[in-house]
Amino acid sequence: MARVLFINAGSEGHINPTLQVVEELISRGEEVVYFSIEAFRERIEKTGATVRTIDDQKFIKAFLSGGRNYLQERINGLLHTADIVIPSVLEQIEGEHFDYIIHDSMFGCGHLIAQILKLPAINS
pLDDT in tens, 48-73: 999 999 987 777 777 767 677 777 87
- Summarised one tens digit per residue, pLDDT across range 68-91 is 777 787 776 777 778 888 999 999
- How many whole angstroms from its chain centre is CA 71? 21
Any residues with CB less than 8 A from the CB of 78 and at least 6 apart, and which?
A: 63, 66, 106, 107, 108
Decide which of 106 and 28 is more confident.
28
pLDDT cut 70: percent of the chain above it? 94
pLDDT at 108 over 70: yes
pLDDT of 42 reads 97
Say if residue 113 is exposed, middle or buried (CB neighbours under 10 Å; 0-12, 13-18, 19+).
buried
pLDDT of 94 reads 98
Give the 3-state secondary structure of 59-96: HHHHHHCCCCCCHHHHHHHHHHHHHHHHHHHHHHHCCC
Q: How confident is the model at residue 24 (pLDDT cuts 50, 70, 90)?
A: very high
Decide which of 17 and 79 is more confident.
17
Instruction: Give the mean model confidence (pLDDT) for residues 7-29.
Output: 92
Instruction: Give the mean model confidence (pLDDT) for residues 13-42.
Output: 96
Q: Which domains does the chain have, with CATH numbers?
A: 3-123 (3.40.50.2000)
